[in-house]
Structure 1
Amino acid sequence: MEAGIIGLPLAGKTTIFNSLTGLTAATVSYSGGKKQVNLSEVAVPDERVEKLTELFHPKRKIHASVLVKDIPVQFDEQKGILPASLGEIRNADAVTVVVRAFSDKAVPHPLNTVDPARDLQKILDSLIFSDYEVVEKRMERLTREGKKGDREYHTLQKIYEKLSEGKFLGSGFLNPDEIKMLSGFRFLTVKPMIIIANTGEGGTDLSRLEEKTSSLGLNLFSISGKSEMDISQLEPVDQKEFLADMGLKEPAVNRFIKYLYKTLNLISFFTAGEDEVRAWSVERGSSIQKAAGKIHSDMEKGFIRAEVIEWKELLKMGGFSQAKKEGAVRLEGKAYTVQDGDVVVIRFNV
Structure 2
Amino acid sequence: MGFHRRLAPSGFDRGVGAFGLAACVMSAAAAALGALPASAAPQDDTRAEVDRLYTQAEKATEAYNKADERADSLREQVGTAQDEIARQQERINTMRDALGSLAGAQYRSGGLDPSLALLFSDDPAEYIDKAAALDRISSHQAGELRDLQFAMRELAQKREEATGKLAELEKSRKAVARHKRTVERKLAEARQLLNSLPYAERAAYDRASRSGRSDLPDLGDAVPSSARAAAAVAAARSVLGRPYVWGANGPGGFDCSGLMQWSYAQAGVGLPRTSQAQRYAGRQVPLSQAQPGDLIAYRSDASHIAMYMGNGQVIHAPYPGAPVRYDPVGMMPVSSVTRV
Give the TM-score taking structure 1 as reference length. 0.24
Higher strand share: 1
* The structure with more radius of gyration: 2
Give the TM-score taking structure 2 as reference length. 0.25
Instruction: Tell me which of the two structures has the higher relative contact order, counting C-alpha pairs closer than 8 angstroms and 6 or more residues apart.
Output: 2
